[in-house]
Structure 1
Amino acid sequence: MDFEGQIEAIRAIFRCDRQPAESLARVLMPQRLFAKDILARQGEPSYNCWLVIEGALRVETYGLEGQRQQVAQHGPGEFFGAYPTASVHRAEISALFDCQLLCAEAGKIAELVAGDVQIAAGMARLLARQLDRALDRMVTRITYSAAGRVYAELVALADGRDRIVPSPRVTMLALGANTTRETASRAIATLIRRGIISRDDEQLIIHAPRMLAELIC
């Protein structure tokens, strides 16, 4: 991504004028990840924060006995990492798909937020939106059935599109839905049998998005 592309992306995410976007672009450096790359490990010092431009990342915690649980997922337009000061990574962060990120030191972003009202307003919107999404995930885990959570995970990964590329692994769907691999596998098999989706090694296609949405319960 060139400098002009960074400015346009930042303006869209922060809803700000060009000058504040240029200030952010001077401290936000492009970073590319490929699917399955690990960005940060649980327990490591955390000095940076990121904006997601393309792709998706998952956040997973590891218990004392090695059990994994997905606690969040970050997609285009989302902000994550250390802010406003350095901290410790509470979970492992890895690339779900190929990703284009913008990375900066937490302190530098905090200085810009403190000094520019448009950047501050943009950051407030970002964090408020992500809090709302986090609450949605909590409600989903509490109120939906295991299969319903798998279907909700598919809808979230599709993000309004009719296909998911590359095709998500069943294990990943199970982690995102906080259920077993066997349950997720049965849920996907039901969708395929009913013609709601089809999948191969390269992509998952949603043929009937309304029917898929109606199964989320």
Structure 2
Amino acid sequence: MLKDEWLGAISAVFGCNDDVAATLGREMSHVVVPHKTVIAHQGDLLEHCWLILDGAVRVQMIGWDGKRAQLAYHGPGELFGAYPQALTCRADIIANGKVETLRIPSPAMVAVAEAQAPISYGLSRLLARQLDMALDRMAARTTLSASGRLHAELLRLADDDNRIDPIPTVTALALSVNTSRETASRAITALERRGIVKREGQVMTIEAPRMLEDMVI
């Protein structure tokens, strides 16, 4: 991605003009993370914020029973890392596919936000939206069946054309909805058998989104 495209992404995410975007962009570095790379381990000191331009990261931790649990999933236009100050990483942060990011030291992000009201306002909207998504995920774990959570996750991952590209592995999907790999595999097979979804290579297409929505129970 060219630098002009970075500035366009910053403008879109924070809702600011080009001059303000350039002020933030000067403090950022472009970082591309290969698939499955661990960006930070549980217990590491985090001192940066990352803005995702393309790809996604999974935030996973090892529970008391030795099993992995997914805490969060961040995609394009979302932030992860340390803000407003450095902190100890609560979980492993792992690249899901190749991830293109803009990275900024946490103190630099704070300084720009304090100096530029549009960045401060954009940050508040962005973090509020991410909190809302996290609460939705917590509510789903409490109120939905395992299959219902998986159906909801597929709908969330799909783009405007009802495509998921690339489709996460079955293991990753299972972790994201706190269920077993076997349960997730059976649920996806049932959807394919009914023609609700179709897999072709690394792409899944939701052929009947309305039916899938009705199965979020």
Partner of 1:33: 33
Partner of 1:49: 49
Between the aligned partners of 1:160 and 1:182, the Cα distance in structure 2 is: 29
- Deviation larger for 193-202 or 134-143: 193-202
Between the aligned partners of 2:171 and 2:104, the Cα distance in structure 1 is: 32
TM normalised by structure 2 equals: 0.95
| Alpha carbons 1:60, 1:91 under 8 Å: kept | yes
| Alpha carbons 1:167, 1:200 under 8 Å: kept | no
TM normalised by structure 1 equals: 0.95
Structure 1 segments of 4+ aligned residues over 4 angstroms from their partners: none
User: Residue 24 of structure 1: SS of its match in structure 2?
Assistant: helix
Partner of 1:170: 170
Cα 1:136/1:159, change in 2 over 3 Å: farther
Q: What percentage of residue pairs aligned between the two structures are identical?
A: 46
Partner of 1:142: 142
| Alpha carbons 1:35, 1:99 under 8 Å: kept | yes
Cα drift, residue 168 of structure 1? 2.1
Q: Flag structure 1 segments of 5+ consecutive residues without an equivalent.
A: none
Between the aligned partners of 2:160 and 2:142, the Cα distance in structure 1 is: 24
Count of equivalent residues: 217
Q: Spell out, residue by residue over 1:108-163, the C-alpha distance to the aligned partner (whole angstroms, 9 max, x if none).
A: 00011111111111111111111111111111111111100011111122143322
Partner of 2:161: 161
Q: Spell out, residue by residue over 1:12-59, the C-alpha distance to the aligned partner (whole angstroms, 9 max, x if none).
A: 000011121011100111111222122111111101110111111110
| Alpha carbons 1:168, 1:204 under 8 Å: kept | no
Partner of 2:89: 89
RMSD over aligned CA atoms reads 1.3
User: Residue 96 of structure 1: SS of its match in structure 2?
Assistant: strand
Cα drift, residue 65 of structure 1? 4.6
Cα drift, residue 200 of structure 1? 4.2
- Deviation larger for 59-68 or 182-191: 59-68
Partner of 2:188: 188
